[in-house]
Each structure stands twice: as C-alpha cells, then as structure tokens.
Amino acid sequence: MRIVCPFCGERELGEFTYLGDAKPQRPAADAGEDAVYDYVYLRDNVAGVMSEHWYHGGGCRSWLKITRNTLTHEISSVEPAAGVGAAKVGV
Amino acid sequence: MKYSIFSLARAALSGHKNWQRTWRDATPKDRYDVVIIGGGGHGLATAWFLASEHGIRNVAVLEKGWIGSGNAGRNTTIIRSNYGLPGNTAFYELSMKLWERMEQDLNYNTMVSQRGVINLYHSDAQRDAYARRGNTMRINGIDAELLDLAAVKKMMPFLNFANARFPVQGGLLQRRGGTARHDAVVWGYAHAASALGVDIIQNCEVSGFVRDANGKVTGVETSRGRIGASKVGMAVAGSSSRVASMAGLRLPIESHVLQAFVSEAIKPLLPNVMTFGAGHFYVSQSDKGGLVFGGDIDGYNSYAQRGNMPVMEDVCEGGMALMPMIGRVRLLRQWGGVMDMSMDGTPIIDKTPVDGLYLNAGWCYGGFKATPGSGFVFAHLLARDESHEEAARFRLDRFRRGAIIDEKGVGAQPNLH
C-alpha cells in the first residue's frame, strides 16, 4: 500500500499511522451511556469500501480521510481532514 | 479407526495402501441440536467437547471452505499460558492443561512439543515487569522461571549479546509452553469428533440465520440448503462481524491482518520459542527446520489475508537485532491472517442478545494456543447455557460494564493491542 498524500505526494505506508473508521462521531456530552458505549466500542467492521482516518506523521503531520477497500487494500480517495484529531479528543 | 503402534505396523507392512479416512466428510441433515459455524480448530474442538463432555452428539460443524483453511492454517503454532490478568491467567492455563493431554484424548498425534517459551528482557524495568508476571503465573499454579543473563547465554549461546542498544539481560521462561502442529490439531479434533457422530460439512457457507416469530435463531441458511438447529454457535474469528451482522448484531471487534513468515530450512538452531523484548519479534523453529516468526499486526482494518512491507521490515529488524546470522537466510513464505481484534485485546465467549445464537470471537492474534480451552468452555456454554467458570469474564457485556481485560492497557484501540 502506498498513499498519495494531498500535500506530500505518493509516500510509503510506514510514514502513516492508522486511527480507524471515520464513521463513528463523538456523541454530545449529555448523550447518555448507550451513545458513548456505541461510539467507543461498537464498529461496523466494514468488509469492502470504508472511510477512515490516517495521520501522516512521517510527512506533513496532517490528518487525512482515506477511502479504502478492506478486501483489496485499494485506495480510491485521499482528502485532508483538518480538525479530525481535535474532534476525536473532544477539544 | 484407532491409531496405535499396531495400526502403524499393519499399515507399513501392507505398503500404506489401506489407511482409512480419518474423519467422515458428511452431507447435511435437516436439523441438529447444535450447529457450529466455522470448521477451524475452535469450532471442531467445541464439537468434540460437546460430544465427549456433554453427550451432545447431534452436532454439525459447517465450514465454508475446507477444515483448517482459515486462521487454523495461518498461525505460528505457539502454545503458552503466561498471561497476567485475572480472567486470562486461569483460562489459558486450562487450555495448556488440555494441550498436555490432547494426543491421548483425541488418539491423534498433534505433535505437541513443550520446548519452552522464553520472553527476553533488555532493561531493569522490563526484568521487574517480567518478574511480576512470573509471580502472577506461579501463584496461579503455572510454571515460570526468571533466568539471568548467564542462564540465557547457556541456553542460547548464538544470540547477539553484544547489542549495545538492547542488551539481553535475561528472560522469563515457561518450560511447559512450546508449539503444536496446527493442521494435526484440526484433523485430530475432526477425527475424534467424527468418531462420536459429529457431522463435519465442508464447502458449506452460511448466508443467513433462520429466525422464528420471537426472533430466536432456529437454523441457518447455507450454500447447501437450510439447516435447522436448536442452538447455533459462531466460531469464525476474523469474520465474526460479518457473520454477526446477518443476525443484526454489531460487535466490539475490528478485523486486522497479522503476518507470519517462514525461512528456508536450516539445521537445528532454536531450542524453544523466543520473543525479543525490545521490539516485536517472536520465533520458533519448525520440525522441518524453517524459522517460523512474526511480530505486530499491520495496524489497519483488513480482510485481505495479506500485509504490507513496513511490518515485514520491522519484524526482520527485530530478528536481526537478536540473531544477526539469520540475515543470510532466505525467506521462504510469508502470509497474512485476518484477526478478530477486540476492543480490549481479550476474547468474547458468551450468549448474544439474539436467542439461540452463541458467540466465540475476538481472539486477536492469540487464538491458536486457546484452541482446546476455547472449545472446552464454548461447549460448556452451548450445553448448559451458562459460562464456564474460567470463561466467566469473557462476557460480551463487559465493555458496557467497564469490566474490560486489557493486558496491554492501551484502551479501545484494536490496532494497538
């Protein structure tokens, strides 16, 4: 797998770190236990095309949103995902 | 047929022409008391324990390919019981004890070899952590020995003791750990289960669950037709989320790829199973002479059964740090298996919220060693509708209750376990 970073061009996989499925959205602070449980623990675990977050730590240090097929590793799109890291930790 | 020195001699004297099939390749009946989805080690072990421990013999094991064609054929064959947390420690020791009597139980040579598993340590802090783990094992009745540098040098003089960055200081040794022959484990359980009446049905892929008006699972739809069942057990690690989704369930699991490697055969070198403590590299030597080794999972979701170069490089660097002389050994084979990475790194063996459907999943990269124990406790659950004492913490609702078992302490991030 090689990833075409929108800022750095095509780079080898070792420069990137995986966060995971981009679909789960952090629930509001008052959303209740069920919503938090769902967000923290349950996954669709897609077999096929999946949208996911990667971090280009070995390059431009940008968060990226990558669309990738988990059955074939084929990457169909790479987009900047500004603010994702902050959103994940609820800043 | 029963295997013994006499059956071997008879077959040898008749030119090995009269061996019978070791298990029956069955065609599906209309219904069974228990249907197990997944003809790997765990599924077949479950069927055998259902038949032998609980007297439930009207059992079918459904396998979409051929038995042992999934992760049972894609592991590194290591057995050990050196876990540190309550829940894991006793369960893996139960499994270890079942390994020790497996060949007699099954009347099958599964080549269980208790050659020892040693985890090397490279710093004072790591020595203390391993001492603690060893103590945890010993107070639970499991063998563990903390070796100093001299003892490791005597046992494995070929290691690179001149590594200035990661000096070997000693190791934690479990002598009862070792390896087993993965295919033989599958065939052995198939052999013994089949002899007790279990139907092993290959090329039978489950495509859906049959449910009654109350939502209870009453059977499965398969590529070989509908099969009724009073209870259905899933033992499909790697594909658990896909199968569970057919019953409308979402699981705390992600599927990740783990690579393993075999070198060309070399003369006997490694006396045991060894792990590098300053990186992720573990290695043993097969009876054919190849070095069997691996390291971390690749770290991204995958069902592809193949991995990528960065992990391969990392694993080989770990190997070179310990044993620089393997740099001239050629890699023979490399493969990837799909791991059920659970959210705390620990398996799930429980009823599901769907009546009649039982779950055995989330084995991460440690399912092989658990094969007999997993079958034993899953059969108990299926037969009695209650968790076995040693699997009582592997409940599906532990995530909601906050009762997670996280050996590495990294939280709900499956690619870090």
CATH number of the domain that residue B366 is part of: 3.50.50.60
Q: Residue B296: which CATH number?
A: 3.30.9.10
The answer to whether A41 faces chain B, any CB pair under 8 Å, is: yes
Are B308 and A44 inside 8 Å of each other by CB?
no
> Does residue A20 have a pLDDT over 80?
yes
Q: Please give the Cα distance from A49 to A43 (Å, whole number).
A: 14
**CA neighbor of B390 nearest in space, from B88, B135, B101:** B88
Contact status, residue B109 vs residue B191, Cβ threshold 8 Å: no
pLDDT for res B18: 86
Grade residue A90 by pLDDT with cuts at 50, 70 and 90. Answer: low
Between chains, do A20 and B310 touch, taking CB under 8 Å as contact?
Answer: no
Are B260 and B409 contained in the same domain? no
Q: Are residue B55 and residue B191 in the same domain, yes or no?
A: yes
Task: Specify the pLDDT at position B1.
Answer: 78
Interface probe with A: pick from B241, B297, B303, most Cβ of A within 10 Å: B303
Structure tokens belonging to residue B116: 């020892």
Closest-CA residue of chain B to A54: B300
> Looking at beta carbons, which residues of chain A come within 8 Å of B301?
20-21, 45-46, 50, 52, 70
A to B CB pairs, distance under 8 Å: 70
Distance (Å) of CA B197 to CA B112, B113, B371: 26, 29, 21
- Is B293 inside any structural domain? yes
Note whether residue B6 is domain-resident: no
Among B342, B373, B400, the domain-final residue is B342
Domain that holds residue B59: 30-108+181-250+346-416
ipTM above 0.95, yes or no: no
State how far the Cα of B90 lies from the Cα of B93, in Å rounded to an integer: 5
From the number of C-beta atoms within 10 Å of its C-beta (0-12, 13-18, 19+), residue B15 rates as exposed
Mean predicted lDDT score pLDDT of chain B: 96
Q: Which two tokens stand for residue B274?
A: 């060894």
User: How many DSSP H helices and E strands does chain A contain?
Assistant: 2, 6
Do residue A70 and residue B303 have CB atoms under 8 angstroms apart?
Answer: yes
Domain annotation covers residue B78? yes
Any domain includes B380: yes
- Report the pLDDT value the prediction gives residue B75, as an integer from 0 to 100: 94
Task: Say if CB B270 and CB B289 are below 8 A apart.
Answer: no
Instruction: Compute the nearest-CA separation of B309 from chain A (Å).
Output: 8
Question: According to DSSP H, which parts of B33-177 are helical?
Answer: 41-54, 88-106, 124-139, 149-155
- pLDDT for A86 equals 64
Instruction: Search chain B and give the residue with CA nearest A45.
Output: B254
pTM for this one?
Answer: 0.96
pLDDT band at A82 (very low <50, low <70, confident <90, very high): confident
- The tens digit of pLDDT for each residue in B28-81 reads 999 999 999 999 999 999 999 999 999 999 999 999 999 999 999 999 999 999
- pLDDT reported for residue B71: 95
Asked whether residue B197 falls in the same domain as residue B150, the answer is no
Structure tokens at B270: 């490694």
Residues B366 and B403 in one domain: yes
- Give the CA distances from residue B289 to residues A20, A89, B332, B409, in Å, rounded to whole numbers and listed in that order: 39, 49, 12, 36
Whether residues B268 and B333 share a domain: the answer is yes
- pLDDT for A91 beyond 60: no
Please report whether residue B70 resides in a domain.
Answer: yes
User: Hey, what are A45's tokens?
Assistant: 């675990």
Beta-carbon separation of A37 and B400 below 8 A = yes
Please indicate if any CB of chain A lies within 8 Å of the CB of B63. Answer: no
* Residues sharing a CB contact under 8 Å with residue B330, sequence separation 6 or more, in sequence order: B263, B264
Position B47 scores a pLDDT of 98
Q: Are residues B209 and B329 in the same domain?
A: no
Q: In this predicted model, what pLDDT tens digit does every residue of B373-417 receive, in sequence order?
A: 999 999 999 999 999 999 999 999 999 999 999 999 999 999 999
Across the range B155-170, mean pLDDT stands at 95
Domain boundary among B295, B327, B342: B342
- Which pLDDT band holds residue A89 (cuts at 50, 70, 90)? low
Select the CATH number that applies to the domain covering A2-88 from these four: 3.30.2270.10, 3.30.830.10, 3.40.710.10, 3.40.50.150. 3.30.2270.10
Q: What is the DSSP letter of B45?
A: H
SS3 B261: strand
Residues B122 and B239 in one domain: no
pLDDT score recorded for residue B349? 98
Same domain, B324 and B201: no
Q: Which residues of A touch B310 (CB under 8 A)?
A: 12-14
Task: Give a yes or no: residue B4 inside a domain.
Answer: no
The reply to whether B272 and B130 lie within a common domain is: yes
**In this structure, is residue B291 part of a structural domain?**
yes
Q: Do both B266 and B329 map to the same domain?
A: yes
Total domains in chain B come to: 2
Based on the fold, state whether residues B150 and B55 are members of the same structural domain.
no
B361 and B220 part of one domain: yes
DSSP A46: -
> Distance between CA atoms of B301 and A47, rounded to whole angstroms?
9
- Residue B16, domain member (yes or no): no
Single out the residue in B308, B342, B376 at which a domain terminates: B342
Q: Is B297 on the interface with A (CB under 8 A)?
A: no
